[in-house]
A and B are shown apart, each in its own frame.
With several copies, the nearest count.
Chain A
Amino acid sequence: MIFQRLVTVVGREEVAEGIFALSLESAEVANSARPGQFINVRFSETALPLLRRPFSISRVDGSSIELLFNVIGQGTRLLASKRIGDRVDVLGPLGIPFGHQGGFDTAVIVAGGLGIAPFPFLTGLLKREKKRIATFVGAKTARQLVTRRLDDVQVATDDGSEGFRGTVVELLERNLSSNPVMRPKMFGCGPTPMLKALSAFAQEAGIECELSLEGDMACGVGLCQGCPVERANGRRKYALVCVEGPTFNCKEIVLR
């Protein structure tokens, strides 16, 4: 069930430089949301910005959902200016959630930048299912690092200002080679180059891996055909990120 609701901002916090957490009150969305799903948000009544903007559901807390986002362009700038009590128009929950059940013991979470967004929600669920969790987070610099509500976190920064100096996938490779984990499954989210590296690593190492993609969307519900990702095989060349994703088994898709 997809809901379209005008919801109230009930919490707002700047959690790192230019990165905000926003809580929205909506029992309906909160109750039906699953980790890996997203909502498509409209925050202006005018034609600027015209389209909704997609954001992962970062956490569910009672009857509210939390978004975690950074200010990129006009849309997120406007979203960051919202105050408690303001209203935004939410469409969701949307998309296919992470496959969090089944044959794995350790969840290896790999996030680059705001790719952490979906993982607090996933972490909560995994903990309830008593999975082991190892989390790897990459950021440009310590100032833009967010690790809140994640478990057992190891950090990489591009400039070495915190943790490992290098990419998060490099950090991951080093770690897994020195401390192999039991029956792992990887969950990745972040910029495309990182996801490509992660996918290559996962396929080489033979580890199951789900990726959550971010890309340009207009509708978020399968109406516009605006969000293709190349499929690795099958009759159809593209899948739609909004309705067939945003989570994909890394073997199903080709990133460019």
Chain B
Amino acid sequence: MIKESFSIRGVEFKNRVLVASGTFGYGDEVKDLVDVSKLGGICTKSLSWKPRDGNPPRRIVETPSGMLNSIGLANIGVHNFIDEKLPYLRQVDTKVIVNIAASSLQEYCDVLRLLEEQEGIDGYEINVSCPNVKEGGLNFGTDCSMTRRISEQLRALTEKPLIIKLTPNVTHISEFARAVEEAGADAVSVINTVIGMAVDIHKKKPKLSTVTGGLSGPAIKPIALAKVYEVAQAVKIPILGIGGIMTAEDAIEFLLVGATAVQVGTANFINPGTGVDVAEGLRRFAEQHQLADVAQLVGAMESNVEFSILQSWL
């Protein structure tokens, strides 16, 4: 028997493959198609205090080996989530990580406090790629001290696993990871989407209603791997690797550079069962390589190169 599970703050995930926030709804949309009990966990769509309509169309653009989205965090709000979705999620046989988004520090705290009163939530993932309304819409996630404060305040409110989801759109993501670790977070998710855009040359307009959006999918896998590698050199807390994972081989790349587990995002839109397939593929790879524990892959990449070479002489 190969050990596939891992734990964050005492919560045991049955395997190292979760589905990423915003790419698997609230877990009930595809229950006919996917046996979610074969997933390590589900990260819900980001939830805010009030329901959010999201951005006007067009919200989705395909790009070479990737896609741009500008959903605008359309979500049903935490109250509807508790009433309509949590009862289903309570009875699924996988871990449920509720992802939280907000436009103020207060809102992050309010949402988490309300969720703390509920049964059936295994942990929180905090989406900091959100506009800080008080600061004129500046993104929380690109401000290291704000990211630290969010982590500290939420840490004080919960004993459950607290995972901070980092944005790649910063110069040194490792600084953010370190701040979050110092603030007491249990893990980091790396990465959220990369800022990008596309233009309709005939209409002379941006393709997305909001001009720019978030790039995801295989196109960003090399970027995500480099960010996970950078973070892995900087912190000791577990890393959930995310970005362009379509296959078990992709997931193994993330484990090798230092991710404890992975999340599958965009691939769910193509095949909602990707997460299950990746978990299965990971197990088979471990089997073939006679590993007792998938953990043996984590950080197992050999490299005798100084980290300082990272950004040099491109």
Contacts and interface: CB of A to CB of B under 8 A. Distances in A.
A and B touch in the complex (CB under 8 A): yes
Interface of A: 1-2, 4, 42, 47-52, 89, 215-219, 221-230, 236-238, 243
16 contacts: A48-B64, A50-B65, A50-B67, A50-B266, A52-B270, A218-B60, A221-B33, A223-B29, A223-B30, A223-B269, A224-B69, A224-B269, A226-B59, A228-B59, A237-B53, A243-B29
Contact of B269 (A4, A51, A238, A243): A51
Is chain A's binding surface mostly helix, strand, loop or mixed?
A: loop
B83 to A, nearest CB: 14
Contacts of B219: 47
A238 to B, nearest CB: 6
A48 to B, nearest CB: 6
A217 B69 CA distance: 11
Most buried by B among A4, A48, A226, A238: A226
B287 interface: no
B24 A226 contact: no
B57 A50 contact: no
Contact of B22 (A216, A224, A237): A224
A251 B243 CA distance: 41
Contacts of B153: none
The list of the 9 closest CB pairs from A to B, nearest first, reads: A226-B60, A237-B53, A219-B269, A47-B65, A222-B29, A218-B269, A47-B218, A225-B74, A47-B64
B281 interface: no
Contacts of A89: 271
Contacts of B268: 219, 223
A49 B71 CA distance: 21
A1 B32 contact: yes
Is chain B's binding surface mostly helix, strand, loop or mixed?
A: loop
Interface string B33-51: 1000000000001000001
A42 B61 contact: no
Contacts of B57: 215-216, 227-229
A51 B33 contact: no
Given A1-B32, A223-B29, A236 B60 contact: no
Contact of A216 (B53, B58, B266): B58
A183 B199 CA distance: 46
Contacts of A217: 60
B60 A221 contact: no
A35 B187 CA distance: 48
A218 B59 CA distance: 10
Interface in B229-286: 246, 266, 268-273
Nearest to B65: A47
Contact of B54 (A2, A228, A229): A228
Contacts of A219: 268-269, 272
Contacts of A236: 51, 53
Interface in B6-26: 22-25
Contact of B30 (A216, A218, A221): A221
B120 interface: no
Contacts of A226: 59-60, 69, 71
B26 to A, nearest CB: 10
A212 B276 CA distance: 33
B71 A224 contact: yes
Contacts of A222: 25, 29-30
A12 to B, nearest CB: 24
Contacts of A51: 62, 67, 269-270
Most buried by A among B24, B53, B219: B53
B130 to A, nearest CB: 16
B33 to A, nearest CB: 6
B221 to A, nearest CB: 10
A193 to B, nearest CB: 14
Contacts of B54: 225, 228, 238
B56 interface: yes
Contacts of B66: 47, 50
A226 to B, nearest CB: 4
Contacts of B22: 224-225
Given A47-B246, A50-B65, A216-B61, A42 B270 contact: yes
A2 B56 contact: no
Contacts of A216: 57-61
Contact of A225 (B51, B71, B273): B71
Nearest to A75: B62
A4 B67 CA distance: 22
Contact of A4 (B23, B25, B62, B271): B271
Interface in B60-84: 60-62, 64-67, 69, 71, 74
Given A217-B60, A224-B23, 17 more contacts: A4-B272, A42-B270, A42-B271, A47-B64, A50-B218, A51-B67, A52-B269, A89-B271, A216-B58, A218-B269, A219-B269, A223-B272, A224-B22, A224-B60, A224-B69, A225-B45, A228-B56
Most buried by A among B58, B59, B61, B69: B59
